[in-house]
């Protein structure tokens, strides 16, 4: 298929449409505005529905409703907007509603900066909403990956009847790159997907209590609620983490990063390898589940320091890195935050300092 030049936010939206998404509700916030703008133009062309809600809270609950009726539905926002959606996301998890949403992250805390950041890692991977539920969380480092992950996220969500998050950032969302778009699902395929949900969707017929797509007071019976948590926990265990391990075997310094920071680090590996310096990279592709076992690939007889690179101060990603390394090496950091973008020069300087030791 021919490659086309697209901005990240627009490419994410087009990938969703091609995956069969026919409902989107959202609310404007920089730097993800191009996602709802694109849906507003594109969904009517395929018989879908776009709604600009009066707020983030209204938008996530509209998505909840559309998905509960069997439609492939999506929302998106940036950092503080995602925080406002957290209750609705938790309700989707409780009711086992498959939704996809995208966080094009910006600086914080609070309203923060409108520029890119990676300060939502804990929110995405540890506490996306109350109740301790978990989600698949994909972290693209290119626009092409954002396209591919968004497309597959709808299948993942339907398979598990669980929310799926695309954790992007302002760089991925606003940069333009050539991408190869996936095949457009036919209307027959979209209808077949929706029809496959009739056993549990709210479509006007009597449903089995155990499979309903809503929450009612009886759910809060403690025995039933614990059983639901246990069932969900078993489902979470089926997820397989994904990771890229790049030139780690003989590395004296291993960088680890995700998303746009990992993309910068990979270019640093290539630059320093050309100078004869032995460096490598571990990049989680899914940050939930996290690929802890990937850090076993490091030769700790050679590598004494791992460099955590992230656009967050204080660091957040480092908590999972530390668990993966499990005291086998020291961890140093290369950090920025608040809308400042990680520079390749800063990473090179940090690596060279560690090599000099």
Q: Which domains does the chain have, with CATH numbers?
A: 3-236 (3.40.50.970), 244-356 (3.40.50.920)
- Of the pLDDT bands very low, low, confident and very high (cuts 50, 70, 90), residue 212 is low
48 compared with 211, residue with greater pLDDT: 48
Could you give the residue ranges of the DSSP H alpha helices within the chain? Answer: 8-18, 34-42, 56-68, 80-94, 121-125, 143-160, 170-174, 187-195, 222-236, 259-274, 318-325, 344-356
Q: Say what the pTM is.
A: 0.95
Whether 247 has a pLDDT exceeding 90, the answer reads yes
Closest CA to 338 of 168, 31, 123, 119: 119
- Of the pLDDT bands very low, low, confident and very high (cuts 50, 70, 90), residue 213 is low
The predicted pLDDT at position 214 comes to: 58
Mean predicted confidence (pLDDT) in 57-68: 97
Task: Write the pLDDT tens digit of every residue in 260-311.
Answer: 999 999 999 999 999 999 999 999 999 999 999 999 999 999 999 999 999 9
The predicted pLDDT at position 217 comes to: 46
The predicted pLDDT at position 228 comes to: 84
Closest CA to 175 of 312, 5, 3: 5
Task: Write the pLDDT tens digit of every residue in 162-184.
Answer: 999 999 999 999 999 999 999 99
Closest CA to 319 of 308, 330, 311: 308
């Amino acid at each position: 298929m021919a490659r086309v030049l697209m901005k990240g936010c627009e490419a994410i939206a087009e990938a969703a449409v091609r995956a069969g998404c026919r409902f989107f509700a959202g609310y404007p916030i920089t730097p993800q505005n191009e996602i709802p703008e694109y849906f507003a133009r594109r969904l009517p062309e395929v018989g879908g529905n776009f709604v600009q809600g009066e707020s983030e809270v209204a938008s996530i609950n509209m998505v909840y409703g559309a998905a509960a009726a069997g439609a492939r539905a999506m929302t998106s926002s940036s950092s503080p907007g995602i925080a406002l959606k957290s209750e609705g996301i938790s309700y989707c998890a409780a009711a086992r509603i498959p939704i996809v949403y995208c966080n094009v992250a910006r600086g914080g805390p609070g309203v923060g900066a409108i520029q890119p950041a990676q300060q939502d890692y804990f929110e995405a991977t540890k506490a996306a909403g109350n109740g301790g539920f978990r989600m698949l969380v994909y972290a693209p480092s290119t626009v092409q990956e954002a396209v591919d992950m968004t497309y597959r996220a709808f299948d993942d969500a339907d398979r598990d009847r669980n929310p799926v998050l695309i954790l992007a950032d302002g760089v991925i969302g606003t940069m333009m790159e050539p991408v190869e778009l996936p095949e457009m699902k036919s209307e027959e395929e979209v209808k077949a997907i929706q029809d496959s949900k009739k056993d549990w969707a709210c479509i006007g017929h009597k449903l089995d209590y155990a499979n309903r797509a809503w929450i009612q007071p009886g759910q809060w019976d403690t025995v039933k609620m614990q059983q639901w948590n246990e069932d969900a926990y078993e489902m979470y265990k089926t997820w397989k983490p994904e990771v890229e391990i790049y030139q780690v075997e003989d590395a004296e310094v291993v960088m680890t990063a995700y998303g746009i920071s990992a993309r910068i680090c990979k270019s640093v590996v290539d630059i320093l390898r050309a100078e004869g310096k032995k460096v490598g990279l571990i990049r989680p592709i899914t940050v939930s589940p996290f690929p802890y076992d990937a850090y076993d690939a490091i030769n700790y007889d050679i590598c004494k320091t791992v460099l955590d690179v992230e656009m967050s101060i204080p660091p957040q990603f480092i908590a999972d890195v530390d668990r993966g390394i499990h005291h086998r090496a020291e961890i140093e950091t290369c950090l920025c935050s608040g809308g400042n973008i990680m520079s390749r020069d800063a990473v090179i300087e940090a690596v060279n300092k560690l090599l000099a030791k």
